[in-house]
Structure 1
Amino acid sequence: MIQTLPAVLPGALVDTHGIDLTPPSSQTSHSPRWRTSVDDVTVAPCGDVYTLTTALRNTWGVADDEPDPGVANFRYRIITRHSADGEVLASALCPSDDDGSASAVADGDDMTFCVLPDGTLSVNAHRDRTTLIAPDLSRVLATYASTEDRTAGNGFAGSISVTPSGRLLCTAAEYGVWGYGSRIANIVGLADGALTPDNRPLIEAISSLDPAPARHGDDDLTAQVRYQGSPVGREHRPRPALTELVAGADRLSGWHDSRLGRPVPLADDLFVVPVFAKIYRGGNLGQPFVFALVNDKGEMTGRLQGLDPRTESPFTGFCFTLAGDPYRGRAFHLNRYGMYAWDRSGALRARLDTAAKTFKPLTPFTLAGCAPDGDLLLFHRKQHLILRVPAPDDLADLPTVMEDALRTYAKQRTALKKAWAPVDWHWVHASVPVGRL
């Protein structure tokens, strides 16, 4: 069933902070600058849909200790839970204040989340910050967060994806990647034990990005991440690194300053690991990237084929997300040029060109991932709506399915506008239960 859901903004938050929902063009030059954006979408095996959004206000000249919430700057992560049929069940606010009222949810860059096999919600961010939250959003169960920039501390993973049997496909950071004096995502690994408030399973490293992070000492060994029985660090890591395996694809920079995307599973023992070359300020069209197929032994068995690095570049708009359907062995990608689908061999099976009138409405969408049943999860960056699309069994039927989904989205969006009366595409729910984590 094609489904359109709003990324909810709690009415209590709007009222407390006196948020002006009108478009920036209708505000004065002295109006507070505020925005909201969708970060990620995930679906639980029970069918509940969770959205992760950010809302922030940053007004020039307002002091950090401004006591009036109607004037003060703020930043929240908002987690909203919908039932399988679209009912808004609850929202949780995760403030990032520095005044002692900060959330127990560990904040960080590139925040994503997933639902663990036991139904627990895992919110993850770089650098290796993991927070476990009760499925009903009532409380934080555990927080695993590094406290220092150089050492791993009590962190767990920067991103997590779940395979059909419950294995956790993770990324982990290391100090000194490409010579930087901070911890950067560098390791892809698997955790086979349960992640609970009482247990952090060891992550077995299967692949790495930078083969030789700089200036490692004893404190830089990543105890939570193991390779062949010992903590990862110094020269002890999976080799050859991905950047060594694909070095011929970027002879100019040798993949220096490249970065890992979020890996996704195609099966219990096969994964897509995205690697993107260095990002420049002056333009990145044509920069190399690799969607590597890696098995659970760390072997690169191939890559997703068929994308032109210039005319279909994910660097345009920085569309770096892949979605994996591990139950049917498919991978999906959406960027400004089109939507693409591959089988587990890496063969491109479908291409939807956004230059065509039929699929041009896909351009403002971002692909978030796949639901456990294989449904595609997308969100509209401006209209703050979630689109759930049942992916066909035969990928050759994807163009027909997406054409129908986009028509249905337009109809469902119209119905939601009548029911919700959004202002500048902000979907305010006045009566949703709101907690604070």
Structure 2
Amino acid sequence: MTIFPVTVPASLVSATGLEPEAGDWHRAVRHAVGTPDGETYVLSGLWRQTRYGGVDDGRDFICQLITRHGPDGDTRTTAVITHEAPGGAGPTSTVRRSESLTLLPDGTLVLSGKPGNTHLFTPELDRLLAAWHMDDRPSWSDEPQTDDPFAATVSVTPGGRLLCLTSEHRLENWGYPRGNLIAVSEPGDHLAPGHSPSCGRLRVAASCGVRKVPSEMSRIRQPAASAIWNTAVRAS
């Protein structure tokens, strides 16, 4: 069993006044993904929140980190991707909070989260290559949304197609966007800076919600009813 150490960059320790031996901070692993070379990327949350357990001294923070570990568990790189102070100035990064990681065939790291936030990072975690964000505010309007979302979760099939969970507004009378459509990219389509499959079309394989999947949407196409489940089975 490989043991991954808790790694916090010195810059974050300095910025937050974090004391490693103190018991007022918390860390939780959100997701992890391995590479063909045996490396592991770990997405984790790190926070200190005293407002509910004591007097807020202004040092509370919430951040997310991605750590790249070698095959033997040693830390190669740690990137602070979000950092915010509750009730303060808000996030200091254009990266939205996310829950999952995946690797594209070319080694690009994909970070995604609800309702439709997708980010691309270099394998070295030294640069954010692209980002697509979905507004999480409620909407009951039939007018097209002005944001630029992609998917709440992304994974890659053995054949290189993208398997995604995408969100919709007004499901079961909820104005907030909720994950609903399971979709796959067309063969040969890809996710890269300046291009996402939603620029073309995604093929819907299933709907998780009660509301009927519309036949035409601005970003996603539903195939003929008889082909929906066949598409899900054939995804390779």
Structure-1-length-normalised TM-score: 0.45
- Counterpart among 115, 121, 128 of residue 133 in structure 1: 121
Residues 296 and 59 from structure 1, CA distance in 2 versus in 1: closer, same or farther, beyond 3 angstroms?
Answer: farther
Alpha-carbon deviation of 1:152?
A: 7.5
Matched with 1:54 is 45
Alpha-carbon separation, structure 2, partners of 1:95 and 1:167: 29
- Counterpart among 184, 195, 200 of residue 191 in structure 2: 195
Give deviations 1:86-122, integer Å, cap 9, x for gaps: 33111100224363762122225xx111111111110
SS in 1 for 2:12: helix
Alpha-carbon separation, structure 2, partners of 1:182 and 1:167: 28
Residues 213 and 18 from structure 1, CA distance in 2 versus in 1: closer, same or farther, beyond 3 angstroms?
Answer: farther
Q: 1:159, 1:170 within 8 Å by CA — same for their partners in 2? A: yes
- Counterpart among 226, 231, 234 of residue 221 in structure 2: 226
Alpha-carbon deviation of 1:23?
A: 6.4
Alpha-carbon separation, structure 1, partners of 2:153 and 2:74: 28
Give deviations 1:107-144, integer Å, cap 9, x for gaps: 25xx1111111111100000010011111000100010
Residues 137 and 162 from structure 1, CA distance in 2 versus in 1: closer, same or farther, beyond 3 angstroms?
Answer: same
Residues 161 and 152 from structure 1, CA distance in 2 versus in 1: closer, same or farther, beyond 3 angstroms?
Answer: farther
Residues 167 and 228 from structure 1, CA distance in 2 versus in 1: closer, same or farther, beyond 3 angstroms?
Answer: same
Q: Which amino acid aligns with 2:62?
A: R
Alpha-carbon deviation of 1:296?
A: 5.1
Alpha-carbon separation, structure 1, partners of 2:219 and 2:83: 26
Matched with 1:297 is 231
Matched with 2:107 is 119
- Report sequence identity in percent: 26
Alpha-carbon separation, structure 1, partners of 2:56 and 2:64: 21
- Indicate the RMSD between aligned Cα atoms, in angstroms: 3.1
Give deviations 1:327-353, integer Å, cap 9, x for gaps: 9xxxxxxxxxxxxxxxxxxxxxxxxxx
Alpha-carbon separation, structure 1, partners of 2:102 and 2:128: 15
Alpha-carbon separation, structure 1, partners of 2:97 and 2:217: 21
- Counterpart among 35, 56, 75 of residue 88 in structure 1: 75
Alpha-carbon separation, structure 2, partners of 1:87 and 1:198: 34
Alpha-carbon separation, structure 2, partners of 1:15 and 1:184: 38
Alpha-carbon separation, structure 1, partners of 2:146 and 2:204: 15
Unaligned runs of 5+ in 2: 140-144
Q: Which amino acid aligns with 1:10?
A: P
Matched with 1:387 is none
Pairing 1:41–2:32 present: yes
Alpha-carbon separation, structure 1, partners of 2:83 and 2:172: 30
Q: Which amino acid aligns with 1:46?
A: D
Residues 34 and 153 from structure 1, CA distance in 2 versus in 1: closer, same or farther, beyond 3 angstroms?
Answer: same
Alignment of structure 1 residues 349-428 onto 2, 5 Å: none
Matched with 1:179 is 173
Q: 1:133, 1:139 within 8 Å by CA — same for their partners in 2? A: yes
Alpha-carbon separation, structure 1, partners of 2:18 and 2:164: 37
Matched with 2:142 is none
Structure-2-length-normalised TM-score: 0.79
Alpha-carbon deviation of 1:212?
A: 1.4
Aligned length: 217
Alpha-carbon separation, structure 1, partners of 2:49 and 2:192: 36
Alpha-carbon separation, structure 2, partners of 1:96 and 1:16: 10
Matched with 2:65 is 78
Q: 2:82, 2:96 within 8 Å by CA — same for their partners in 1? A: no
Alpha-carbon deviation of 1:72?
A: 2.4
Q: 1:156, 1:224 within 8 Å by CA — same for their partners in 2? A: no
Residues 226 and 86 from structure 1, CA distance in 2 versus in 1: closer, same or farther, beyond 3 angstroms?
Answer: same
Alpha-carbon separation, structure 1, partners of 2:206 and 2:163: 11
SS in 2 for 1:210: coil
Residues 21 and 295 from structure 1, CA distance in 2 versus in 1: closer, same or farther, beyond 3 angstroms?
Answer: farther
SS in 1 for 2:4: strand
Which gives a bigger RCO, structure 1 or 2 (Cα 8 Å, sep 6+)?
Answer: 1
Q: Which amino acid aligns with 1:145?
A: H
SS in 2 for 1:223: coil
Pairing 1:157–2:151 present: yes
Q: 1:171, 1:187 within 8 Å by CA — same for their partners in 2? A: yes
Give deviations 1:236-262, integer Å, cap 9, x for gaps: xx69xxxxxxxxxxxxxxxxxxxxxxx
